[in-house]
Amino acid sequence: MIALYAVALELVDLPAVTGVDGAAIARIRSRGLDLVFSSHDAPAAASDRAVLEHARVVDAVAASAGALLPARFGHGYEDEAALERAAAAAAPALRAQLERVRGCVELGLRAVGPGAGEPPAARSGREYMERQRARVGECDRLVRDIDGPLLSLAKQGTRSMASQPRFSLAASYLVEPARIPAFRRRVAELERAHPALAFACTGPWPPYSFAEIEA
């Protein structure tokens, strides 16, 4: 089978890295897209090491390509012909995504709140529902307060929030490298403005959260 690492534009040279389980990486050029993959007898199991090996190939290809969409780990095809067919069918959509992420990196943000603790038992179903609504409303406001200022520095963003058992926001932003310092300063400001939350800003990453390789 074939494991896909990335779809790239303007890939000059295939970087000198090995893929998952030490497999050699190869590429197919199809309709101006470079498809970087390795061949395996069986699908590789997800482990920390395999994930790192996958990410290492994505990083190396990103360094020598004009633009890149990372594939998720385990995105597999039966053989090279199947990969080429899928890429040809999705070429316009892939190209549009590649142009959108071109020149940008992904920054990740997590913000986690303290546990709410066990609330006193609600006296009625209505009281319970009202509390729940207030809790979700409070979390939605926090998301707007955090996400808004960061999104204004980004080309695009994605976010997911959980209100139970504690407030937890996971967001990703597509950012031009020149704006990374401003983005980090803004995270530091948010950190000061929300002392009860723990923040972690990670990256720059290849644009994993902005790549939809459906094919």
Partner 1 sequence: MSVLADPSLEQEVTLLELVDRVLNKGVVLRGEITLAVADVDLVYLGLNVLLASVGTLERIELEAV
| Residues engaged in binding partner 1 (CB under 8 A) | 46, 48-49, 51-52, 54-56, 58-59, 70, 72-74, 106, 108, 110, 112-115, 158, 160, 166, 168, 170, 184, 187-188, 191-192, 195-203, 205, 208-209
For partner 1, the closer of residues 84 and 101 by Cβ is: 101
CB of 27 to partner 1, least distance (A): 20
For partner 1, the closer of residues 74 and 85 by Cβ is: 74
CB of 153 to partner 1, least distance (A): 14
For partner 1, the closer of residues 34 and 113 by Cβ is: 113
CB of 132 to partner 1, least distance (A): 21
* DSSP output for the chain: -EEEEEEEES--S--S-B-GGGPBEEEEEETTEEEEEEE-SSPPPP-HHHHHHHHHHHHHHHHTSSEEEEPPTT-EESSHHHHHHHHHHHHHHHHHHHHHHTT-EEEEEEEEPPP--PPPPPSSHHHHHHHHHHHHHHHHHHHHHHHHHHHTTSSEEEEEEE-SSS-EEEEEEEE-GGGHHHHHHHHHHHHHH-TTSEEEEEEEE-SGGG-----
CB of 38 to partner 1, least distance (A): 15
